[in-house]
Structure formats: structure tokens, C-alpha cells
Structure 1
């Protein structure tokens, strides 16, 4: 016998946990089932700021361990692609950066999908409802960060903060870049991300990492039922209406209203394809009965591209390596953090700084001028960056630093990549992982813009006199800053920053690649919506965690409105 619920949310990731909780908390108190393929993640290694980059390495059990196809533009490298498995999804493994992106991203989103509710003036209200912003950290450095309390939420469940302390070396580096002419951005989440400064993060100064599960499920109401270890492989249909789900281990559930897929940019298209929703030719080739020929399912996959640039510096620059390479200090700090969330585990890697910038002369690039006029116009908007850089990240495994020295690890990110990848099925077997082709740097614009972004990041940081005086040697970077050397380096070093999106694209019905409408409803299929990063019609200029929360929030707002859940509920 199948259990019956008003709503079934498939995927307990960043968007799914928020969506399920929002629905369950309404006045109508609908019954909500949240089905997650993984477990409920726990462990001391998941919370401390010092371990913000290490979760996927320390906890492989919480990672789907996906990988890409060989990337033609990257010397046929296969790129590992971690994806969070467990309640909270990739919010358990990510680097905790919490950035909205540009207000123009959402204005463009509204244009593409034909719905003004996605405009920045409306979207910022949804962001405000998501977050519980802690402002106290910024009070220690008001010249570097000063978010306006009136423009940020304090009643949401996702804890967001700026770090209460900055590591040695952070302030001098930011000051040096600012003196070279870059603007300090006191609030990256104002709708204008341009400039440099301290990035806000999905962290609580008291509790460490915020995940969507710790935010939304710890005190879940009784009308929210959670199934873990529940790998959904079948959608139950009555004609072209979805009426339920089935897990690999045989659990079944039916819905009186809708099923909402929140399984992410790889597994949502995979599940749709397995159930006959997608390009007809692909489904026919695998003998999968066609429910709805939807050509865009699994297409339009986009991502940001990142490349690390690392130098060894004099030990007077920062204290990181002296701490990280001392096992005794690390053990002591770990015990202190476990006791009262203080000490070096709360300090090191507790802050990320960087910036979102334009590339001078971008509009004159041959590769830019070859883009269609609408894309050129969007990229030329004042608050749309061409690249992002980070000024202090981790030391990549395998790199060695001489005793007494330390390191500076920068990253150059390509924004607004034009290359399009895909997610397809390996077979009709639901146990098989999807085939993921991110198609990195296959578009001429991407190769040119990322080359220039790498050059600008290296020059901005490592050629700055204040930083350059401390540099001992290059640990990772191009042989020189010539086009040829940077291009060769990109092929060896460019990789993903885990921001996959767009594989079940939202769009107008007239767009034959659109899979869902602006209200998340799957075209041509009743009772089924998609609410995760796969619906993005463009890649926002941010780290996409915040957008995943936004998608869950927007989907909840739509469903609450349509089913009158705030007024006690009504069947439509």
C-alpha cells in the first residue's frame, strides 16, 4: 500500500529542504513527504570554518562522486564533480559562500521566462525571507563590509554572517588591491556585486556551517515526513499526470496534489529521462516509453569555470601554513573548537575575500563581438561582471611549501560562460550514473574571457608590490602571462566550481528548449514541477548556493499562492 501525501518533494538538498519546510509550515498544514537518497549527515568535520574546503574529502560517503566525460578543450581530462548526498545536499559540502549575484541576473531571468516576479525588485524580497543575517561580524571592519540591516532578513532560517575575525594577511592584501584602484564593496548582496571585499557566508558564528537540513529540518513539524536512503527511480502516472513516486527499495507514495523534483542539475534530468520525459530520440534509443517529448531535458547545462593560482610567500605574510603543517596545533585547535567553537579552527579559512570585476576592453574582443546582440547587451550592463577572483583559498593537495614560509592561493573564475553541456543517460538502468558533459571552454568567448581573467587575477594580486615583495616562488600558474602560456595552463588546470545549472531550463512555452514554465511546472505533464538549479535559464554571477535557496523559496511562494495554503488551503 502506498502512503498518501498532499505534496511529495524528491531530493532533500539545498532547495528541497527549504521547500518542504515552507509548505509544511503554512496555515493549511498539508502533509509533505521529503524523500532523500542519502542519510542525515552528522560529524564534527562538517561544521568548523577551518574545514570548509575539506568536507567532500573527509566524508566521501556524502558525495555522489560523479565525474565528467573527457573534456575536449581541457586535454581530455575527466573532472571529478562532487555532489552532496544526504539531507542538505551540496550545502553540506560546499565552500559556504553566500552571494546573490547581480540584480541584472534576475532582471534578465524575468525577460527570458516572461514573468516579472523574477525581477530583482521582487527577487530581493524572496532572498530576505530566506536568511537570518548576523551583522555583528562586520562591526570589526566597517571599512571592508557594512551590510544594511534594512536590506537583509533576520527572520529566515538560513544563518548568514560575515566572519568576526580576519586572518593575518587579509586586510593588507585587500588594502593593496583597493589602492591600485578597485572599489571596496561593503555589501556584495545589494544587487551590485562589483568591486572587492569580504564575502558573506552560510555560517553561524556560534554553530559553524549552515546546511539546508540544519536550517530547515531540525525542528520539523509532524506533518513533514522524511524518508532517507530513498532513491526515487519511478514516477507513477495516470495518463500524463504524475500521481506518486517509488523508491528503488520498494517504498511507494502517492500525492493528492503534486510531486516536486529537487534532485539537482544532474539527477533531476536523469529522473525525468528514466521516466519518459525528454528528447524522444534519446528515449527511443534506450527503449524507454515516451510520456512527453521534451527536447530540452538534459540540455543547456552551464557552469562557472575556475582555475587556481598559487604562490609560496614569506611566513610573515600569513600564519596558515605554520598552523596547517603542525599536527599538534591542529589537534589542539580541533579540541578547542569542539568544546566551545573558538580558537584557530574558527579563524583559519573563516573568511573568503575577493571581487567581481569587468575586463577592460571586453566589448572590443573579437569573441565578444561574435556573440548575439542580446548577450552582448547583457554582458555590457554596469553590474554584470566578466570574472570573479578569490584572494585566499586552500593549498591544493600535492603542493609543498618550505618550512617557515606560507602560501597565497588565488582563484580566477569565468562568469557568464557560453559553453553548453549536457546530461544524458548511460542506460535505462536507474542504478547507472548519468553521463555529464560540462563542455568547459568549448566556446571561443569562454576561452578568451577566462584567459584574460587569469591574467588579470595574477597581475592584480601577485604583481601588486605589497604582495609581490613576499613571494618566494610560483607553485601553480602559467609559465608566463603570454596568451600561449595561459592557454596551455588552462587546459591543464581549469576545473569546475560545482555550480552546474540549467539542465531542465525554465522558459517561455514558445522556446522549444524550455522544460518548465516560470511557475516551475513541467510542460506537458500534470502534477509535476522542478525546483532546483536545473531550472536556471542563465548562470547567476555568484556562487549558486544562494540561488538554489531562492528557487526553493520561489517554488514555495507559488504553491502557497496556488493552493491557498496560507489561508488554510483549498483544492484547485
Structure 2
């Protein structure tokens, strides 16, 4: 079976769907083939807003990858969840929708020497992508959520916003943070995320929105084929002309675009003979183009929860989660109209992005390269994140009570660089993932200080007055005990980036140029989070979408599809 299209897009996650949709809608209507390794993911019951925390447990929708044993994480193999099937990560993530800070994108533009990546242009793409419901949850004052219309779009295919209702203590929790000295921010998606906000998510009216919504219904010039794992790119005379998938060949007259994600796009590159020469030689893969950067530079956001039992009566979430009958009845109501308890519990959280006042005084910061120091101190760049109302019982069923409150802490600007490498000549075998979590001294310092800041928040009278006991957290606020908690409870956030890094031709550690073109190979692009040269200070699905849109816009110009 052979077929020829103008463009072949590999991967149906946020980047791939954004590219396929944008190209297909361009005025000259090129023919597009979108190949997705997983299934359709079209069971509407996996779109429940309040169950966003557990969707990734579905093995058919998750690649189920793990790291190699991590030295600074108790030598444990850490889960690296990844979305499989249409929607990709957007179908299985926790649905946090944060665009990051304007300085992230200006830094991206600086690194690659291309103003197309500056914040002003990226924000326009975000606005065109989203259909934003800016109405805060019922009972939430404009003090806590007051997004400006000029910072958002209302007619895009991706539905984002706030829940219609939220648990009773959301405002109380935001007040606790403010009273403890954490400033409020009425919109974390304005380009400046600093402060405590009502979280925006990729859900609306009780229903998760995924990347599949960008291609549903598919236009006539877009062909979508699922259950089609791509093994390699077909390359002749240093030019990509198609792909192989499960014994079938598909050909592209213009471009092949890899959007398989930071853990899978390098697999396809390597099995196409593009990658580190020593690895290709070891596994007897003919070298098409040697590039030592393929699979290097992997960065991720790590997070860790702390959990406290709370005085009765607490949130009604405890009684809801404690009743199978209540949850089943709520599911039936949700199936009817997307309303009810499953559109409330687990559907709305507080989110905060903060700086550390003394970060520049630490030895670990002072040991960083000057450019890294400069970036970390820019106005809108946060150093850590917190999320409230984490449903910890789904991750730790040993909790002795459901009347608890969970807070998750992320640290940002990771300096650790992991690598993913071949471990088989079989292209269906995953790569080996050594994330090297917490290996950089700066990462450990920020992990310690960020969690220490959250511990101090929980000791503030505004929060502590309703606390009974700590159920999960460090034994003390010493460096050693905080790091021990990180090592035992650390969670990867599905935010892997950088494994086919973008940069200027001639720079070290670069796989693609500023137009997403694989250096050394004609007709081949990589346009997903693996290409992104910064680790956005955000929940990176938004960055994945805008990566795809940016690539598609460049292709429209390159081939005169306007």
C-alpha cells in the first residue's frame, strides 16, 4: 500500500493536530496525512473534568514509560507518562492550561535568532487557538479572577477557562496565601504569571478539551490514520520523502513533520539513521546524518505533594470521594449534560507562580553561567509553582482520611539535562530514558527552597488553624529531610522538552533550525516539545500547541499556501 500527500504529520498530540489543522485550513488546501500511533481516544467518558487526574491510568492511552533508576530519587524508576492516541498528552494530562511567561518566548527568540518566537507573536497564536470562558466560578470575586479580554481569544477550537462551580474552600485557600504574604494574580495567562490565581484549565462546562478537537470534524483534505506507529522516515539522497508505518509506506511531496513528542521523535530520527554515530553503529543502523544532539538536552518539571488532614467539617469533597454511590450517580448526571459533582470536585484549583527573593545569593545560582543567571532573574520568570486541592488519595490510597488538603510544589528552570538513547535495533522498542533528575546542584537548591516556602505557608496561622496533622511531607524543614521527601515522592509532570533542540545552525547541541528543519536533511521537520529550546515556566501543553501553529505558519509561507 502506497499513498502520496503534500505533507505527512507524525503524531496526533497538541503539536501534530495544530499543524495538521492549520495546514489543512490554508487557502490552497494541501493534502495532509496525520499518522497516530494510538487509537481514536473518542470515548467521551474520558473527558470528565473532575476525573482529569486519573485518565492517564488508562494503559491504552499512556505509553507507560519509565526512567532508568535515578540517583537522586532513591534509585527509583520514575514514571514518564505520555499520551498515546489522538489528543496525545492533552488527553491524559491534568488539564492545567498555562501559557508561561513572556520572557520564556523572548528567550526562545533570542536563542534561535528569530522574532517569530517573541511573546507578542506567540500571544496572538494563543488567542487564535483558544475559546476562553473568562467567567470565574460561581461565588468567586473578581479580586481573584479578572482576565482582560485583550489577553484572550474567544473563537478558537480549544475550549479553556474556569469551572462553573468549585469546592467551597477555594476562596478560603486563596485568602490564606494572600495573608501569608503570597500576592494574588487575577490572570496567570496574561504573560506575567507571578502570583496566586484561580487556575485556568483545558476544560469547559465540565468537559476536557483535547487536541483532537482541532481536527474534528476533519476537513476533506486531511486524512487521519490511527494505530499507525511510525518506525522510520524514508530518506533518499539526504531528503525525506515519506515514512514507514507497520509495513506500509506513505510519501510526502513537500514535508514530513515529526510531532511524536520529546520521548518518541528522537526514536524515529535515530531509527532513520539520524543521531549519535556511536549509538547508530552499535545497533547497526546505517548512518544517514550523524548528530550527537539527538536525544540529548532533556529537561522536565518535577513536582512533589504535601498533604495535611483538616478539621471537620472540611470540604464536601471528602464525603463525595468517600461514597461510591455518590460518584456513580454523579457520573450518570455528567453523561447527561456535563454538570454535577464531577464538574466540581477535582475541577478547579488555585495555582501560583512565585520568585525566591534570595535566589541570587545562593552559591548554586552564582555557579550558573551568566546567561542563565540573567534569564532566571527576568521580571516574569518564576522559580517555583504551587497548586492547591490536589486529590492525593488517587495517588496514595493509604491516606487515613479523605478530609485532607493536598498542595503540589514544582521547581522551575531545571539545569539537569537528561538523555535518551537507543537500546535496540528494533524501532518498536522504546528508547532508554535517563532523565538525570535533580543531578544539578541548582535544581536541588530550588527544590529545597520552594518546598520550604510552602511548608512555611502551611505553618501560617491562616492555614494552620484548620490543620490536624501532616499526612505526607518532610520530617522537618532541614535541607536533608526536604530532599529526602523529594527523592521519595517526586513526580514527573509530562513536561519533557529539548531532545531535538532548536537553535542556530552551527551552534552545539542543535537538531533543528529556527524553521523546524532537521539540519542536514531536506524535507524533514521536528515540531513538538522536543524542539523547544527553553523549558517554559508552565504546564507545557500550551507551548506544544503554539509550537505546532508556529511551524505550520512557516510552512504556509514557505510553500505559498496563503
TM-score (norm 1): 0.96
What stretches of structure 1 move > 3 A for 4+ residues in a row? 137-140, 396-403
Q: CA deviation at 1:325?
A: 1.1
Q: Is the 8 A contact 1:8 1:259 kept in 2?
A: yes
Q: 1:144 maps to which residue?
A: 144
Q: What does the per-residue CA deviation read over 1:267-290, in whole Å, with 9 as the maximum and x for residues that have no partner?
A: 000110111001111111111111
| SS of the residue 1:557 aligns to | helix
3-state SS of paired residue (1:423): strand
Equivalent in the alignment of 1:290: 287
Q: Return the alpha-carbon distance in structure 1 between the equivalents of residues 112 and 288 of structure 2.
A: 24
Aligned to 1:115: 114
Residue of structure 2 in register with 1:190 after alignment:
190
1:499 and 2:495 matched: yes
Deviations 1:166-209 (A, max 9, x none): 2111101101211222221111111101000111111121x600
Q: Give the Å deviation of 1:399.
A: 4.1
CA distance, structure 1, for counterparts of residue 23 and residue 151 of structure 2: 25
Structure 1 residue 315: deviation in Å? 3.1
Determine helix, strand or coil for the equivalent of 2:189: helix
Partner residue, 1:441: 438
What secondary structure sits across from 2:364 in the alignment? helix
Q: Match of 2:516?
A: 520
Number of the residue aligned with 1:216 = 214
1:322–1:243 distance in 2 versus 1, CA, 3 Å: same
Contiguous gaps of at least 5 residues in structure 1: 567-572
Q: What are the residue-to-residue correspondences of 1:372-521 with 2, within 5 Å?
A: 372-396=369-393, 397-402=395-400, 406-460=403-457, 462-521=458-517
Q: Following TM superposition, by how much is the alpha carbon of 1:512 offset from its aligned partner in structure 2, in angstroms?
A: 2.1
Whole-Å Cα distance in 2 between the matches of residues 246 and 292 of structure 1?
Answer: 18
Shift of 1:510: 2.1
Q: Does 1:56 align with 2:52?
A: no
Residue 35 of structure 2 is matched in structure 1 by 35
Q: Which has the higher mean CA deviation after the structures are superposed, 116-125 or 253-262?
A: 116-125
SS of 1:242's equivalent in the other structure is: strand
Matched, 1:346 2:334: no
Alignment of 1:225-240 (within 5 A): 225-240=223-238
SS at match of 1:243: strand
Which shifted more, 3-12 or 485-494? 485-494
- Equivalents in 2 of 1:155, 1:363: separation in Å? 42
Q: How far apart, CA to CA, are the structure 1 residues paired with 2:405 and 2:384?
A: 19
CA contact (8 A) 2:305 2:409 kept: yes
1:126–1:185 Cα change, 3 Å: same
Q: Shift of the alpha carbon at 1:516? A: 0.4
In structure 1, the partner of 2:79 is 80
Instruction: Name the counterpart of 2:134.
Output: 135
Separation of aligned partners in 2, 1:383 and 1:512: 28
Q: Which residue is equivalent to 1:549?
A: 545
Structure 1 contact 45–55 (Cα < 8 Å) conserved: no
1:379, CA displacement in angstroms? 0.6
1:18-62 per-residue CA deviation (whole Å, 9 max, x = no partner) reads: 1101111111110000000111013344112220101011x2111
1:13: Cα distance to partner? 1.1
The answer as to 2:324 corresponding to 1:331 is no
Matched residue count: 560
Is the alpha carbon distance of 1:438 and 1:383 closer, same or farther for their aligned partners in structure 2, counting shifts above 3 Å?
same
Query: Alpha-carbon deviation of 1:541?
Result: 0.4
**Counterpart selection for 1:241 from 235, 239, 242:** 239
Query: Hey, what's the Cα distance between the residues in 1 that align with 2:514 and 2:442?
Result: 29
1:154 matched to 2:151: no
Counterpart-to-counterpart distance in 1, 2:349 and 2:559: 41
CA offsets, 1:58-107, max 9 Å, x none?
Answer: x2111111111000111110011111110111111001111110100011
Instruction: Quote the Cα distance in structure 1 between the aligned partners of 2:22 and 2:279.
Output: 36
**Matched residue SS, 1:436:** strand
How far does the alpha carbon of each residue in 1:220-255 deviate from its partner, in whole angstroms, 9 at most, with x for none? 11110011111111211221000011112x221111
TM-score (norm 2): 0.98
